[in-house]
Homo-oligomer: A and B are copies of this chain.
């Protein structure tokens, strides 16, 4: 279980302090979110992490580059990542601006924003980790839809500054997945590896239907094997957005998730 990390969004409404303590007991890392960090207090979060020794595996999230004020907001996110001691800021790029049909324009905006932010991130010791989201989010959440596309966007920058997130939920369907994982590993670009399962039917809005590990059709062991074979030696973070999980007590969800990780990933 030495790679196991629990993303706080898996038990979204669980007190962040309790989540950190549970991770400490399990010897796990934690993936944090900016809003709960702000609510709990950044300084207080830093102290809690220091007291428990829990490493922050990612900060979620920066990005949304097609929204106004994105550059300043992302600089703040980079500062917070550095303060929390994580080298990984997850980026969800943002969708196509309301009323626009210019998907290529939105993608160009992402490339421009990376160019503006990458040096700043590099100086802070933070890697901007571009997360390709499932193509069902391309319109309203993330115009970066495949791992290859994320790697193309990362290409111009040093891998210390810009990397990618491989999240099984978003990429499992891709016919070019294993080649793309190899490519990502060879370029030293895998900044984070996240796991979730795919279950159907999807709920309305499709955001909160990620399956608990082992309940869906994702080949978790095969993809994990490929990511490790590509040279990734970092944490494996479980991140589930799921209304049913969110309705349950955090400690219970944590225990179930750790057990599922043991059975289906580890």
Q: Is A206 an interface residue (CB 8 A)?
A: yes
A202 & B204 in contact (Cβ 8 Å cutoff) = yes
Q: Is A113 an interface residue (CB 8 A)?
A: no
> Given A202-B205, A203-B204, are A136 and B139 neighbors across the interface (CB < 8 Å)?
no
B103 & A139 in contact (Cβ 8 Å cutoff) = no
Contact of A136 among B136, B146, B216, B219 (CB under 8 A): B136
A101 & B203 in contact (Cβ 8 Å cutoff) = no
Number of copies: 2
10 A-B pairs within 8 Å (CB atoms) are namely A101-B218, A135-B135, A139-B198, A139-B199, A140-B200, A145-B173, A145-B175, A148-B175, A202-B202, A202-B205
Q: Is A187 an interface residue (CB 8 A)?
A: no
Residues of B within 8 A of A8 (CB): none
Q: Is A253 an interface residue (CB 8 A)?
A: no
Residues of B within 8 A of A109 (CB): none
B219 & A103 in contact (Cβ 8 Å cutoff) = yes
Residues of B within 8 A of A68 (CB): none
CA distance A100 to B148 in the complex (A): 26
A positions within 8 Å CB-CB of B: 96, 100-103, 107, 134-136, 138-140, 145-146, 148-149, 152, 172-175, 198-206, 216-219
Return the chain B residue nearest A177 by Cβ. B103
Residues of B within 8 A of A218 (CB): 101
B206 & A139 in contact (Cβ 8 Å cutoff) = no
Contact of A101 among B102, B134, B219 (CB under 8 A): B219
Residues of B within 8 A of A199 (CB): 139
Return the chain B residue nearest A221 by Cβ. B101
Residues of B within 8 A of A146 (CB): 175
Residues of B within 8 A of A101 (CB): 217-219
Residues of B within 8 A of A202 (CB): 136, 202, 204-206
Give the shortest distance, in Å, between A64 (CB) and chain B (any CB).
Answer: 15
Return the chain B residue nearest A178 by Cβ. B104
Residues of B within 8 A of A152 (CB): 175
Residues of B within 8 A of A201 (CB): 140, 204-206
Contact of A135 among B100, B136, B140, B200 (CB under 8 A): B136
CA distance A242 to B245 in the complex (A): 30
Residues of B within 8 A of A100 (CB): 217
Give the shortest distance, in Å, between A134 (CB) and chain B (any CB).
Answer: 7
CA distance A152 to B176 in the complex (A): 12
